[in-house]
Chain A
Amino acid sequence: MLISFLLFTTYPLLWMTLTALRSEGDAQQRPLGLPAQWTLDNLREVFASGNFLQAWQNSLLLCSVAVLLAIATAALAAFAFAQFRFRGSNVLFLLFLLGMMIPVHVTLIPLNQLLGADALNLKGGLCALIGPYAGFALPVSILILRRAFEAIPQELLDAGALDGCSQWQSFWHIGLPLARPALSTVLIFNFLTMWNEYAFALTLLGPGCQTVPLAITEFKGEHDLRITSVCAALLLVLIPLILVYLFAQKQIIRGLTAGSIK
């Protein structure tokens, strides 16, 4: 059973790789098995023609900004939820948690109006996505970071307070350094979620400004009949992801499951 499931998981990726490395005629004649003749032409062609480099830049820039914004604001709020006792804190926290249940599609239409030409006029550019990405990243981030801040030994914070730390200083000098593992978890989770996000990008970005997922679908639409080219494009997009995954596999798995394991 393990082996058959391993085949189920890996065969599609293997098939994609092999198809990217064969000639188009070969792919039409014998889709299975090893290529009759190995070739790098498809990869070279995609690399030269596609606008994947631009899409990579866009995605990298967008995700970095949005992740930083989300983490900075979430860390502040999570610290407040963990360390301050104030009236309404539970209600506010629940309100944030509610966000995990909100399907993003409920907000597509209003956000389209909000960011459209009549209001903020950000639609079509990368800036349009920063707000929605960061906003929807908050619930999980606050949940994970609050747990981390609550785990900080009270004595440390008390010692800080005795030495005259302000709340801000105890956040900056005690809270953040001690929450570093949780911060990296949140960073990985949000970055990958945003990197792969499709619905918002599809709705709010315009032609000429694409993230990686949009570039993939557009490339597939234009070269639909050339299986080898599209597989080569997919391979190009996946290689960096898989490489990062090989090296940071433990952290990534922990990051992507952290929100769910209590």
Chain B
Amino acid sequence: MNISSQSIRQGRFRFSDVCLFLAPAMLLYAVFVLTPVGKSIQNSFLYWSSPLLEPEFCGLRNFRELFGDPVFWLALRNNFFLLLGSLLVQLPIALGIALLLHYPTWGQTFFRAAFFTPMIIPTAAIAALWQYLYEPQNGACTALIRLFRADFTYAWLATPGTSLLWIFVTICWQYIGFHTVLFMAGLSTIPEELYEAARLDGASELQICRRIILPCLKPTLAVSATLSVIGSLKYFDLVYLMGGGLPETSREVLATYVYRLAFDENQGRYGYGSAVAVFLFLLALLIVIPLQLRKPDRN
């Protein structure tokens, strides 16, 4: 039966069908994703003396400039700050909350829904809201601290060294709930018998956590970590929107730098901006591909 059904399907299978099914998606993908990426790579070798003039080929000049550019290094450092922050702060908190919610308690659905809410809010709205929370005179954060220290005032987003830190707190607000939900889904796949067996053997809760929960959660952890890494490398919205009148460079990340180089007034530096963008893309590939390739041999 198996063989005959196979032959039936093979007999009906035509090459033109494949083309018909794949062509629309391929076309869309090629025009709006692949070609632009290729064009970006090409652009990174070109120099525009003005956005209106024809560009000229300039070899590796843009990349040489890149490595001598202090703003670029600052942006890169800021990206790594976000990356480490999300791995070392967001994920552990999310895991802790997921574990707390995992023990049979009331209101699991309620907490899950509440923690997930920021994910459905447009980042533009999140940025506007948090800019007011951080308002130096009468924002909620300032006002809360004033309950204890009456004359407190602090320019949260306009203090060069720390503005990115407060933006990071907002990013945590946005994403911790998302990771919590991922972890909860991962936890729910661990069979109940494993816990029971461990308890029968006299394992403590801490041992159960270390020996059973964490190993079983490894795939979920890998997914969360990959998402955090990609996410923090290409982070744009909040950093761009929560400026706060600061010289832009101090909290610049790579994606906002690309945007500013190309589209801010009096800039139009398409070639150099593309070089930064290409670097960003290569960096993402370099970090994520090893993470992805490790997966099959573990399973």
CA distance A198 to B29 in the complex (A): 20
- Highest count of chain B CB atoms <10 Å: which of A134, A154, A231, A253: A253
Q: Which residues of A contact B259 (CB under 8 A)?
A: 105, 108, 199, 202-203
The reply on B262 being an interface residue by CB < 8 A is yes
The reply on A56 being an interface residue by CB < 8 A is no
The reply on A162 being an interface residue by CB < 8 A is yes
CA distance A249 to B112 in the complex (A): 10
In chain A, residues 1-21, which have Cβ atoms closer than 8 Å to a Cβ of chain B?
1-2, 5-6, 8-13, 15-16, 19
Q: Are A109 and B274 in contact (CB under 8 A)?
A: yes
CA distance A184 to B157 in the complex (A): 40
Q: Which residues of B contact A113 (CB under 8 A)?
A: 39, 270
Q: Are A162 and B8 in contact (CB under 8 A)?
A: yes
Q: Which residues of A contact B28 (CB under 8 A)?
A: 69-70, 73, 131, 134-135, 138
Q: Mark B265-299, 1 if CB is under 8 A from A, else 0.
A: 00000100110011011001100100000000000
CA distance A70 to B288 in the complex (A): 25
The prevalent SS among residues of A at the interface is helix
- A79's contact among B21, B115, B237, by CB below 8 Å, is which? B21
CB distance from A81 to the nearest CB of B (A): 8
Q: Mark B34-52, 1 if CB is under 8 A from A, else 0.
A: 1111011001000000000
CB distance from B298 to the nearest CB of A (A): 12
Q: Which residues of B contact A157 (CB under 8 A)?
A: 9
Q: Are B115 and A12 in contact (CB under 8 A)?
A: no
Known contacts A105-B234, A167-B12: A9-B173 contact under CB 8 Å: yes
CA distance A19 to B131 in the complex (A): 14
- Closest residue of chain A to B262 (Cβ to Cβ) is A109
Q: Which residues of A contact B115 (CB under 8 A)?
A: 5-6, 9
Q: Mark B96-123, 1 if CB is under 8 A from A, else 0.
A: 1100110000000001111111111111
CA distance A72 to B23 in the complex (A): 12
| Interface size range of chain A in the complex | 35 or more
Known contacts A31-B139, A86-B18, A230-B128: A213-B234 contact under CB 8 Å: no
Q: Are B40 and A107 in contact (CB under 8 A)?
A: yes
The prevalent SS among residues of B at the interface is helix
CA distance A73 to B116 in the complex (A): 30
Q: Which residues of B contact A8 (CB under 8 A)?
A: 173
- Closest residue of chain A to B231 (Cβ to Cβ) is A103
Q: Which residues of A contact B223 (CB under 8 A)?
A: 260-262
Q: Which residues of A contact B21 (CB under 8 A)?
A: 76-77, 79-80, 84, 167, 171
CB distance from B135 to the nearest CB of A (A): 7
- Closest residue of chain A to B10 (Cβ to Cβ) is A85
A-B CB contact pairs (8 Å), 10 listed? A2-B100, A103-B280, A105-B277, A113-B270, A167-B12, A167-B13, A195-B122, A231-B132, A249-B113, A257-B182
The 7 tightest CB contacts between A and B, nearest first, are A135-B32, A103-B234, A213-B124, A107-B36, A110-B39, A77-B25, A80-B21
Which A residues are within 8 Å of any B CB, using their own CB? 1-2, 5-6, 8-13, 15-16, 19, 27-29, 31-32, 69-70, 72-74, 76-77, 79-80, 84-86, 92, 95-96, 99-114, 131-132, 134-136, 138, 142, 154, 157-158, 161-162, 166-168, 171, 192, 195-196, 198-199, 202-203, 212-214, 216-217, 220, 227, 230-231, 234, 237-238, 241-242, 245, 249, 252-253, 256-257, 260-262
